[in-house]
Amino acid sequence: MVYFTVRCDPLPGKEEEFDGFLADKAKKFWTGQQGVKSFHVYGDKLAGWPERTIMIEVQDLGSLQKILDSDERKRLRKEFMTYTARSESQIQDPIV
């Protein structure tokens, strides 16, 4: 199993719109991809910090790379970036 994690801060005033995007478009995209096992969004509102953490569990690195390279994912990312002030991603392969 491979874990693709994205940590991001929504733009001020865009939090609800961003959460709607994640719950609708992003979740439908990721859960509809071959090899994706789960998609979860976590909010961190402690001390007023608006960070969101998105965890996507994928069967293997090859499946994840195919998804990341797809034109559909690139369009989704472009829209994703219209809601965020900061974003960083990480791929974790527990086998390595």
Asked if residues 39 and 3 have their Cβ atoms less than 8 Å apart, the reply is: no
Output the pLDDT for position 2: 96
pLDDT at 75 over 90: yes
The helix, strand and coil proportions of the chain, stated in percent and rounded to the nearest 5, come to: 40, 35, 25
Question: Which three-class secondary structure state does DSSP give residue 49?
Answer: coil
Parallel, antiparallel, or unpaired: how do β-strands 2-10 and 52-58 relate?
A: antiparallel
pLDDT tens-digit series, residues 19-71: 999 999 999 999 999 999 999 999 866 656 689 999 999 999 999 999 999 99
Q: Is the pLDDT of residue 1 over 80?
A: yes
What is the rounded average pLDDT of the residues 69-86? 96
Identify the structural domains of the chain with CATH numbers, from first to last: 2-92 (3.30.70.100)
